[in-house]
A and B are shown apart, each in its own frame.
Chain A
Amino acid sequence: MIEVKNLYFTYPSGVEALRNVSLEIRKGEFVAIMGQNGAGKTTLIKHFNGLLKPSKGEVLVDGVNTESVSVAKLARKVGFVFQNPDNQLFSETVEDEISFALKNFGFKDTPLRRRVTWALKLLGLTEYRKASPFMLSGGERKRVALASVLAWDPEVVVMDEPTIGQDYSQKEKLRQFIVQLNMQGKTVVVVTHDVEFVSECNPRVILMSGGEILADGFGKNVLTNIELLTQASIVPPQVTEIFMGIKDLGFPVDIIDLYEAKELLMKRLGRK
């Protein structure tokens, strides 16, 4: 679905944000891109919908080079949810906000209203339909931004730090929601720092540092590799940390899942 080949990107200020990045995201995959502040994560995903064009190398979306199509056209396919919802929201009501892009994509009347209702319900925003986005809390505004993208049903959903400002139960909803999107065959790309969220979702993890890809693999392998994590300014999930502290007692350390952890401990503790 998304192919990145030897991508380099240098900002006009001269900062080289991406260096020789190559990766392939297949249709229907769920990928988490992780790494320290300034690692190039956001710069990378901005290439997925053509907001940025490569300085060198190329990016193909569904086989089409992003340099040859407009952002507007790509946006229909690749929905982008920004890190800071305030950069995205501008309407007077939540309803208008969600309708805006749909109108631009040519939706009208009943289908438009149906989609708005659907998106509001999906993200638990129904009661805020007529509210001003700016009266809402940070976490709620974030969900409005997400709803406005999901409303037009893009094939790929790219989210920049979706869990920021979200409480635990909203994150749990977001997780279920991503699983659901994924089951419908949608490709989901999430940029995040949230190790606990990633350990619960267990997606493919791409770890970045200094504009390059450090590691690409299963969460279980990447999130338990201390050396790589330290390079990327990530701390391991707390479950992994517990197991690292007791590995001398014969416990494995590649554990990120709470329930797997419980089973392992039950086996030893239960026997006593």
Chain B
Amino acid sequence: MAIVKAQSLTYTYPNAEKPALDDVSFEIQKGEFVILTGPSGCGKTSLCRCLNGLIPHFYQGELKGKILVNKYNIVDHPIHELAKHVGLVFQNPENQLFALSVEKDVAFGLENLGIPRKEMIERVDCALKTAGIEDLAERAPHELSGGQQQRVAIASIIAMNPEILVLDEPTSFLDPLGAKRIFKVIGKLNESMDMTVILVEHRLDLAAKYADHVIVMDKGKIALDGKPRKVLNSDETRMLGVGIPKATRLYQLLDEEKALHSRQVPVTADEMGKLVRGALRA
């Protein structure tokens, strides 16, 4: 079942000359883990803003075509209604946090929904634990490091338990181990809770293994759309300046020299290691 469906979606910001999204059509199935990538300024963030109605309700501008999120046409539903279904984690956590304690920040969205106190406490605790920040519950968000703040932002979205989780470069500010941990958390939400994940990411080395669908955008259009191994191994993806995993790139270099070939293109270090091992044994 398609949970997101865009048809010839075209959007232009107020006073902008060129559209930020130009005739975009795609489908995302329920329960998919989608990586949305592409050069800076290609329209990834604008697309995320459509998913929870920030475009067009907050940003205004001109929207043509159609996008259905959970069968809702975003144009007909206000942001607060869409927010129940779509959780958006921003690139910069500072834009999202404001309460005096981490716990309050995470509870804020639930308070607005009028969730009973007991359930609220449970959901906040669970979200803090999933994001690995139980020990920060009492701390003030603005005193935390960028990485910790990002985990608070993610926890406050997890607490809302949305059907669709949209993350706009959520690990930019995290150290690699922290990033790895967040991807694991997102992978788990996707796997065990069947949450649909749309992850905007440049750093594919760590994220690629979780994805089952990759969309590459360029200049407001969809450039490639398909299975990760196919998209990541395509020359076009690399030419667009997408940072494909080093394991995939190394495989390509060896494949070009006819030193290594596989029908299953590696996207992780582990897969690449196994491929080399197999080739040496053969």
Which of B148, B178, B280 is within 8 Å of A268, CB to CB?
B280
Cα(A167)–Cα(B13), bound, Å: 22
In the complex, how many angstroms separate the beta carbon of A186 from the nearest chain B beta carbon?
25
Chain B CB within 8 A of A239 CB: yes
Which of B91, B178, B203, B277 is within 8 Å of A37, CB to CB?
B178
* Most A CB within 10 A of own CB, among B169, B172, B173, B279: B172
Chain B CB within 8 A of A242 CB: yes
How many chain B residues touch the partner (CB < 8 A)?
54
* Contacting pair A242 B272 (CB below 8 A): yes
B residues neighboring A (CB under 8 Å): 13, 16, 38-41, 45, 91-92, 94, 143, 145-148, 169, 172-180, 202-203, 205-206, 240-243, 245-247, 249-250, 253-254, 257, 259-260, 268-270, 272-274, 276-277, 279-280, 282
- Known contacts A138-B92, A139-B41, A270-B259; decide if A265 and B254 are in contact (CB<8 Å): yes
Chain B CB within 8 A of A89 CB: no
7 A-B pairs with C-beta separation under 8 A: A135-B16, A172-B241, A235-B176, A235-B206, A246-B277, A249-B276, A265-B254
Interface size of A as a range: 35 or more
* Contacting pair B272 A249 (CB below 8 A): no
In the complex, how many angstroms separate the beta carbon of B146 from the nearest chain A beta carbon?
6
A-B pairs under 8 A by CB, number: 149
A residues neighboring B (CB under 8 Å): 13, 35-38, 83-84, 86, 135-140, 161, 164-172, 193-196, 230, 232-235, 237-239, 241-242, 244-246, 249, 258-259, 261-262, 265-266, 268-270, 272
Cα(A194)–Cα(B178), bound, Å: 12
The residue on A at minimum CB distance from B45 is A137
* Most B CB within 10 A of own CB, among A172, A194, A269: A269
- Known contacts A165-B40, A165-B169; decide if A242 and B176 are in contact (CB<8 Å): no
